[in-house]
Chains A and B, each alone.
Chain A
Amino acid sequence: DTGVSQDPRHKITKRGQNVTFRCDPISEHNRLYWYRQTLGQGPEFLTYFQNEAQLEKSRLLSDRFSAERPKGSFSTLEIQRTEQGDSAMYLCASSRYPDHGGYTFGSGTRLTVV
């Protein structure tokens, strides 16, 4: 069990650029989740996958946000045309369904949009 890996740990980008983050879940976990965390707040749910199927994406913050999980393994979260308000920590978590909400989180990717 190598844990949940996220890459990169930090990303600084200029406003208007596209960014992509990667998450590698625990191998035997079939669910993968993306959350956003802003300063002083708890994690905010964005989307999740069960195997390769994206089961909930209505909570993605705008149509600039998209996520994929090809072949049910790693996942990517892309933000197009970044805005300063996108600056946050993006957290990935994985679990084995039915998990009831007990996840293993990665260390996160901190995005700064300048």
Chain B
Amino acid sequence: AQSVTQLDSQVPVFEEAPVELRCNYSSSVSVYLFWYVQYPNQGLQLLLKYLSGSTLVKGINGFEAEFNKSQTSFHLRKPSVHISDTAEYFCAVSESGGSYIPTFGRGTSLIVHP
């Protein structure tokens, strides 16, 4: 079964600085990878996904992530953050050949300071 580890529970950063949120996964088969964002008291919104092809994936709101198979990682990056990026970010993984039900990490709280 797959598992996801988000290495940082909280990441504080100043506005306009770059940020990287780390995600590592474990699986014995090919995987699909996702990043979701959750604003307070709301559901999750899909930021980006890796299904196949180019390992660099671009998503909404200027975010991108890179799939690294050898490192089993899928880190999320943004070159310049805004106050409005303050939210909880979840990495998720699903496995090929199954029901595609993703397993979510525990989340990383991104806190952008002015």
Interface residues of A (CB under 8 A from B): 4, 6, 33, 40-45, 48, 55-56, 91, 93, 97-108, 110
Total contacts A-B at CB 8 Å: 66
Min CB distance A91 to B, Å, is: 6
Q: List residues of chain B with CB within 8 A of the CB of A4.
A: 43
Q: List residues of chain A with CB within 8 A of the CB of B94.
A: 100-101
Q: List residues of chain B with CB within 8 A of the CB of A97.
A: 100
> Which size bracket describes the interface of B in this complex?
20 to 34
Interface residues of B (CB under 8 A from A): 4, 9, 32, 34, 36, 41-46, 49, 51, 90, 92-94, 99-107
Which of B93, B104, B106 has most chain A Cβ within 10 Å?
B104
> In the complex the two chains form, is B92's CB within 8 Å of A105's CB?
no
